[in-house]
Amino acid sequence: MKAIFRNELAMAYHSMTGYVCGAVLILVSGIFFVSFNLILGYNEFGYALSSTKMVLIVLTPVLTMRVFSGEKKQKTDFFLLTAPVSSAEIVLGKYMAVLAVFAVPLAVLMLCPLILTQFGHVDLLKTYGCFLAYFLLGAACCSVGLLISSISASPVLSAIVTVALLLFSYMADTAGALVSGVPFLHSVINGLALFQRYSDFVDGMFDVTHLIYYLCVAVSMIGLTILRLESRRWG
């Protein structure tokens, strides 16, 4: 698994995907940081992170679209499927590499709250709670992209489908309100709302159930990806 992790991580930066995605997230977050925190005087960096959720809908599919479908397109998936490692190790190695690339710009952005402490009081516990929730939100999004990449043979199609699914999840809260008269359908749609749950952390509510929800989504998607890879190896 370590070899797969290192190889996937190297490919992410060799193809410039890691650098571009990291730069975009830092740039957009930096713009909101300057606007909200430095100019308007908000002492909570979670607002700046919350404003980048739409960016996350695009960045995570870009990070995951080539993980499996790229290998299919380049006809290198044969070596992957015949490698002397389990399907779980392959999927987890690739997934951890994607998370590592996603975590790098967040690590840089974690300096922003410390900058704010130079201008006044900042609730660092609440702020870094927002970072934890944002990372797990991104981890859930990446797991969705990984599953779609394992199904699709085209990286572009994989990215488009993942963006569509994440966009639906982003709008699920609004869609749920439209069907509030149908309790079952309302509950199902709200259960797909990944992004709305992050808002509670920005508002100061550290809800552990939301973190567990993100972890459950990630574990479920990774499990399905493993099953998909296993079916290709032995199907």
Per-residue pLDDT reduced to its tens digit, 73-91: 777 767 777 778 888 999 9
Give how far Cα 164 sits from Cα of 47, 141, 149, 185, 221, Å: 24, 12, 14, 20, 16
Task: Identify the CA nearest to 213 among candidates 133, 146, 145, 96.
Answer: 133
Under 8 Å between Cβ of 221 and 144: yes
> What's the whole-number mean pLDDT along residues 9-36?
92
How far apart, in whole angstroms, are the C-alpha atoms of residue 188 and residue 172? 9
How far apart, in whole angstroms, are the C-alpha atoms of residue 155 and residue 182? 37
Q: Which phi and psi angles does 102 have, rounded to 5°?
A: -70, -35
pLDDT attached to residue 199: 87
pLDDT attached to residue 178: 66
Quick check: 210 pLDDT over 80? yes
> What's the whole-number mean pLDDT along residues 194-218?
90
> What's the whole-number mean pLDDT along residues 146-175?
90
How far apart, in whole angstroms, are the C-alpha atoms of residue 69 and residue 160? 13
pLDDT attached to residue 110: 95
pLDDT attached to residue 212: 95
pLDDT attached to residue 71: 78
pLDDT band with cut points at 50, 70 and 90 for residue 1: confident
pLDDT tens across 115-145, in order?
989 888 888 999 999 999 999 999 999 999 9
Quick check: 108 pLDDT over 70? yes
pLDDT tens across 222-232, in order?
999 999 988 87
pLDDT attached to residue 72: 78
pLDDT attached to residue 186: 66
- Residue 173 vs residue 63, higher pLDDT: 63
Percent of the chain with pLDDT strictly greater than 90: 51
pLDDT attached to residue 180: 66
Percent of the chain with pLDDT strictly greater than 70: 94
